[in-house]
Chain A
Amino acid sequence: AGCTVRAFAWHPHTSKFAVALLDDSIRVYNSKSATIPSLKHRLQRNVAAMAWKPLCASILAVACQSCVLMWHLDPTSLSTRPSSGCAQVLSYPGHSPVTSLAWAPSGELLLSASPADTAMLVWDVSTENCVPLQRFGGGGVTFLAWSPDGSKVLAATPSAVFRVWEAQMWTCEWWPTIKGRCQTGGWSPDGSRLLFTVLGESVIYSLSFSEYRGEMQGQVGGWKTASIVADLSETTFETIGGEIHSMVWDPTGERLAVIIRGHPDAPGSQAVIAVFRTRNSPVFELLPCGFLRGECGAQPQLIAFHPCFQKGALLTVCWSTGKTSHIPFFFVSTHVPCASPSPVTTSASGWEQPLFSE
């Protein structure tokens, strides 16, 4: 609320990101090109989420008020206003407003969710066929997160229940929380651990899943209870602490960033980003690493990690003032190196890029 940036999405393989603004237009910034295409469509209203298709050059899925728009952009074009003909409209009766999207990491299926629809839709985008996966209880789906290995999907509902689906035979496990709804969640890179937070509580929970071996069909394999791994209630150290608004886990599994909202009644409390150092194997570890704060009066609204930063991790923060900053963390990753395309060139410290030139 009160922010000019509605949604943010990094391209999974290149240094390109899309930003959705309050006026329902989307701008695509590319580190290699100076043109900034601006995407507008008459059905693109109240954009709530965006996601780039994995294993593709530039197909962007946009969650709008009444439908899901798929923009098929030409990666080499220099036009600043792609026509509405590049957008494919995916709509389903009763499925609006669409607030959350998740692509399968193998790039074939798109999940879309709406808090007003108890069915989660699985889209096969090219044939425009969808399969509704309906589960009553919970009333809609508010948040979707697909594990990076493609095996599980977290679907949070507005009530005190969330579901974890396994993506091979599409069966689900039902997890009741105690106090409130699941606010946000993040998966470890191998899909064996889910960190999630609950509205009204200032702790991070962890849920482990058994190693996916491909032989267990139809079982999600989660443990019986979730364990608390981090307590972020208010501490006296600079009065930082409180509820967690959103959480992202770096694709190498080494850094976790959360936006902590200060208490609304306490004066002068500002939302802050806490960064943790994490490790998933052999044993799960979560250690505090530092805090990020913006300028005076700037609250962090959206955070995202760059999907393929070579030198460590790159955190992008969209502030409520309309600025976007990229903060690099340089470290040697313990992740198995795999070949990736061109690295991102960033300066040593944060890279502030003003969003509006006016």
Chain B
Amino acid sequence: AFVFFSGLDPFHPVRWMSNSLNDLYTSCVIFCLILMSMVIVVISIFNFEFYAVVPSIPCSRLALIGKIIHPRQVMHSVVHAIMGMLVAWCAAVMMKGKFQFLAVPCTPSESPDDALPQMCLNECHLFFLLSGAFTGYSYSLFYLINNMNYLPFPIIQQYKYLRFRRSLPLLVKRSCVESLYFVRNFCVAYYFFGYIPKVWISTTMDLHIDSKLHPLDTLTGLLDLSLFYHAWLCGVFLLITWYIAWLLFKIYATETHHFPVQPTFAEETDQCLPKILTSNPPPIIKFLALQDLMLLSQYSPVRRQEVFSLSQPGGHPHNWTAISRECLSLLSDLTKRLITQQEAAAANGRAKQPARELKVSPQTPGAVVAEDMSFQSQRSSIVPRASMSSLVKPSLMPLKTSPGSDTGSPFSSSALNGKMGILDVNSPWHGSVQSPHVMRRRPKLWTSGSDLQMNGSHHESFPVLSAARVGSEAVQPGFIYTWLQNKQEQIKSFLSKRVLIMYFFSKHPEASIQAVFSDAQMHIWALGGLSHLVAASFTEDQFGVVQTTLPDILNTLLTLQEVVDRYFKLPHVSSKPPRISGSLDTSYKTLRFALRASLKTALYRITTVFGEHLNAVQVSTEHKKRLQQFLEYKE
């Protein structure tokens, strides 16, 4: 196709067609095709290595810059640039004409001195190669910034061919537009910097610059329409092939995979759904397993029966227990994460006072992160109490912690943990009444964004010191420690007055919110799958395996509903991010709304099917009131 378009000769269409057809069969073209398929293979390998199901969202500009200069990303860009150059070389060779060789004989000059024709640099060819490299590099940058490595799962299931066919026209249009954009940028860059590679190549390969022809890095040189057209065409071709590779990879990777619920053979035990959910598989497998759970709960009565079945012998509902436990633990993790976020936001609001008293950290709810596998009835009773008494003495709460446990939120870095003090919860004075002095000892984990970044980047030496200090002397509050804290505050307030520093370090609120919900797709599926299974169990569950877990399910869902409602009252959360028109799938930006809607739908599904029978289920009184609201459709 490329050969056709490049030989475009609008005035002599017949000659164009015959020339192109002739060209197709030359060995040159065949060799180029082989080379280009190798390029595609390399690109596909890169797609494979770099994909992610959870988008990584940089929360501040510094994080974005950090992402760009990360060595892995640099390698990605370099390889793409080289691939781009290769493709451009193939294209130039295939096109014949003036682009074919790097070195061409110079136009014979008038003077009789130069009898031998010298080799001159074919600047058009060079321009071509460099534009290919530039396009490759820009593609890589776009890939990074637009999170193209994120695999969005489709909202409806379709056969692969239909999905591919549907996306193809959009893809072609987008490649054309982007190529135009890239070539334009490249022309500007070449205008300013074009002489560098020109001079370098001509000196290394001992070619002369042809003085007869116009040099290309001038305005008149760059306005060559045919050159522009060919460069654009090459860019379009390159982008189309790379985007098709990316699209095919996305379609194949997000295809639903059928996981058996009940293993029929002993070798398959590792592949069956409950096992996969409870072990810790790589994220893509977990996502596919949850997607399969969602589909089986809606569409497959046979597999639902397998889920509700009892084991032989023993009569234990292993399948249901494993699946429901995993879903509930996912949901309660999310609940905890949101609570800590809210605590942080609330604490930030109150920390704007001039006095530098450090509030009690909101670690207590997070400190209940013990990975015990008991059912969530105890946990859910702790969690709402924790959220209510956020900044007041936490001493009276029963705690089940492991020392050194951390909230594990996305914003903390290990350096920070070390510095802020690994809470030695078993220390003798922890449960006692807190004096203000001791309260200061547990600084809040969530200061404003600048504080975190500051501390992370400027005080690398301190973590080691303070960690050692905190670890060793757990009894006396360290005077040096507090002095260090004061110094940090001073530096922080000094630097925060420098606008440039704040520009890089300030957290973009929308991005931080998106980062909290970046893996919400898992939770959406868990909610959907669980609620469909519970709804189906009203008629299909023969042994009553679901009924025993119904209180926990309802508790978890209602707690999550409360927390999500409160979270959405925070600023920026309920506003929709601006939609950029274009064919990019930016569904990761609105995952939080999908989560809220699917949570409500899940609760309504359970209440609609069970109706008044839900009043017989044991839930706490606040939850009972909430359930009554759902039953009356007042939520």
Query: A residues bordering B, Cβ < 8 Å?
Result: 11, 13-14, 55-58, 75-76, 106-109, 122, 124-129, 131-132, 134, 150, 168-171, 213-215, 218, 338-342
* Complex contact A109–B155 (CB within 8 A): yes
Closest to A340 in B: B611
B590 cross-chain contacts in A, Cβ below 8 A: 126-129
Closest to A171 in B: B159
User: Chain B contacts of A215 at CB under 8 A?
Assistant: 300, 302
A339:B613 contact, CB within 8 angstroms: yes
Known A75-B634, A132-B166, A150-B298; further 14 A-B contacts with Cβ < 8 A:
A13-B633, A56-B604, A57-B634, A106-B605, A126-B598, A127-B155, A128-B576, A128-B579, A169-B159, A171-B159, A214-B299, A339-B610, A339-B612, A342-B632
Question: Is B600 an interface residue, CB under 8 A from the partner?
Answer: yes
Cα–Cα, bound, A216→B591 (Å): 31
| Tally of contact residues, B, Cβ under 8 A | 43
Q: Is the CB of A213 within 8 A of B301?
A: yes
Chain A interface SS verdict (over half): loop
Q: Taking each of B576, B594, B633, which has the highest tally of chain A beta carbons within 10 Å of its own beta carbon?
A: B633
A107–B603 CA distance with the chains assembled, in angstroms: 12
Task: Please measure, in the bound complex, the distance between the C-alpha atom of A109 and the C-alpha atom of B206, giving whole angstroms.
Answer: 66
B155→A124 contact, CB < 8 A: yes
Does B526 interact with chain A (Cβ within 8 Å)? no
Flag if A127 contacts B594 (CB, 8 Å). yes
18 A-B pairs within 8 Å (CB atoms) are namely A55-B601, A56-B601, A57-B635, A75-B634, A107-B604, A108-B601, A109-B155, A124-B155, A129-B587, A131-B166, A150-B298, A213-B302, A214-B301, A214-B302, A339-B611, A339-B612, A340-B608, A341-B633
Residues on A with beta carbons closer than 8 Å to the beta carbon of B634 = 57, 75-76
Q: Give A33 Cβ to nearest chain B Cβ, in Å.
A: 11
Smallest CB-CB separation from A131: which chain B residue? B156
Contacts of B198 in A (CB 8 A): none
- Near A by CB (< 8 A), chain B positions 602-635 give 604-605, 608-613, 631-635
For A126, the chain B residues whose CB sits under 8 A away are 590, 593-594, 596-598
Q: Closest approach, in angstroms, between the C-beta of B592 and any C-beta of chain A?
A: 9
Least distance between B173 CB and chain A CB atoms (Å): 13
B384 CB within 8 Å of chain A: no
Does residue B413 face the partner (Cβ distance < 8 Å to A)? Answer: no
Which residue in chain B gives the minimum CB-CB distance to A88? B576
- Cα–Cα distance between A134 and B532 once the two chains are bound (Å): 29
A107 partner residues in chain B, CB cutoff 8 A: 601, 604-605
List the A side residues contacting B633 at CB < 8 Å: 11, 13-14, 57-58, 75, 341
Whether the pair B593, A218 counts as a contact (CB closer than 8 A) is no
Chain A residues with Cβ below 8 Å from B587 are 127, 129
A127 CB contact (under 8 Å) in B157, B591, B613: B591
A56-B600, A131-B154, A168-B157 known; A124 vs B301 contact (CB < 8 Å): no
Q: Does A106 contact B298, Cβ atoms closer than 8 Å? A: yes
Give the chain B neighbours of A56 by CB distance below 8 A.
600-601, 604
* CB neighbours of A341 from chain B (8 A): 611, 631-633
Closest chain B residue, CB of each to CB of A125: B597
Given contacts A13-B608, A127-B591, A134-B166, is CB(A169)–CB(B155) below 8 Å? no
B279 to chain A, nearest CB (A): 27
Chain B: CB-nearest residue to A32: B632
5 nearest A-B residue pairs (beta carbon): A339-B611, A126-B597, A55-B604, A214-B300, A124-B155
Q: Cβ of A13: which chain B residues have Cβ within 8 Å of it?
A: 608, 633
Q: Name the residue of chain A whose CB is nearest to the CB of B159.
A: A169
| Complex contacts, B300 vs chain A, CB 8 Å | 214-215
Is B158 an interface residue when CB atoms closer than 8 A count as contact? Answer: yes
**Pick the contact of A169 from B157, B600, B612, B613 — CB < 8 Å?**
B157
Q: How far is the CA of A55 from the CA of B299 in the complex (A)?
A: 18
Assembled-state Cα–Cα distance A170/B159 (Å): 8
Kindly report which residue of chain B lies nearest to residue A57, judged by CB atoms.
B633
Given the complex of chains A and B, what is the CA–CA distance between A55 and B598 in angstroms? 10
Residue of A nearest to B304 (CB): A214
* Bound: A215/B532 CA distance, A: 17
Residues of B within 8 Å of A106, CB to CB, are 298, 532, 601, 605
Which chain A residue has the least Cβ–Cβ distance from B589?
A: A127
List A contacts of B598 (CB < 8 A): 108, 126
Instruction: Please indicate the chain A residues that have their CB under 8 angstroms from the CB of B601 in the complex.
Output: 55-56, 106-108
What distance in Å separates the Cβ of B379 from its nearest Cβ neighbour in chain A?
27
Q: Give the residue among A124, A125, A213 with the most B Cβ atoms within 10 A.
A: A124
Chain A residues lying within 8 Å of B528, measured Cβ to Cβ, are 108
Quote the shortest CB–CB distance from A147 to chain B (angstroms).
14
Nearest chain A CB to B308's CB is how many angstroms away?
A: 15
Which residue on chain A has the smallest CB distance to residue B604?
A: A55
| Least CB distance, B583 to chain A, in whole angstroms | 12
* C-alpha gap A340/B604 in the complex (Å): 12
Which residues on A sit within 8 Å (CB–CB) of B157? 168-170
A54 → B minimal CB distance (Å):
8
A-side contacts of B632, CB under 8 Å:
14, 341-342
| Residue picked from B585, B587, B604, most chain A C-beta under 10 Å | B604
Q: How far is the CA of A204 from the CA of B470 in the complex (A)?
A: 83
**Complex-state Cα separation, A75 to B604, whole angstroms:** 14
Q: Which B residues lie within 8 Å of A150 (CB)?
A: 298
Check A338 against B605 for contact (C-beta < 8 Å): no
Instruction: Tell me the complex Cα distance, A211–B579, Å.
Output: 42
Distance A108 CA – B525 CA, assembled complex (angstroms): 12
User: A170 — nearest CB in chain B belongs to which residue?
Assistant: B158
A168 near B299 with CB under 8 A, answer yes
| A170 cross-chain contacts in B, Cβ below 8 A | 156-158, 162
User: A134 CA to B597 CA in the complex, in Å?
Assistant: 27
Q: How far is the CA of A75 from the CA of B613 in the complex (A)?
A: 23
**Which residues from chain B contact A168 at a C-beta distance below 8 Å?**
157, 299
A108 CB, nearest partner CB in chain B, Å? 7
**A11 vs B634: C-alpha distance in the bound complex, in angstroms?**
13
Chain A residues whose C-beta falls within 8 Å of the C-beta of B631 in the assembled complex? 341
Bound Cα distance A171, B585 (Å): 23
**In the complex, are the beta carbons of A339 and B604 less than 8 A apart?**
no
Alpha-carbon distance between A14 and B608 when the two chains are bound, in angstroms: 11
- Interface pair A55/B155, CB less than 8 Å apart: no
Contact of A131 with B155 in the complex, beta carbons under 8 Å = yes
**Chain A residues near B532 (CB, 8 Å)?**
106
Report B-chain residues with C-beta under 8 Å of the C-beta of A122: 155-156
Decide: A124 and B608 in contact? CB cutoff 8 A: no
Contact of B609 among A58, A75, A338 (CB under 8 A): A338
Across the interface, which residues of B come within 8 angstroms of A14, CB to CB? 632-633
Least Cβ–Cβ distance between B57 and chain A, in angstroms: 16
Docked pose: A341 CA to B300 CA in angstroms? 28
Contact call A218/B159, Cβ cutoff below 8 A: yes
**Hey, which chain B residues are within 8 Å of A76, CB to CB?**
634
Residue interface mask B17-54, A partner, CB < 8 A = 1: 00000000000000000000000000000000000000
Min CB–CB distance A121 → chain B (angstroms) = 11
On chain A, the residues within 8 Å of B159 by CB distance are 169, 171, 218
Residues of A close to B301: CB separation below 8 A: 213-214
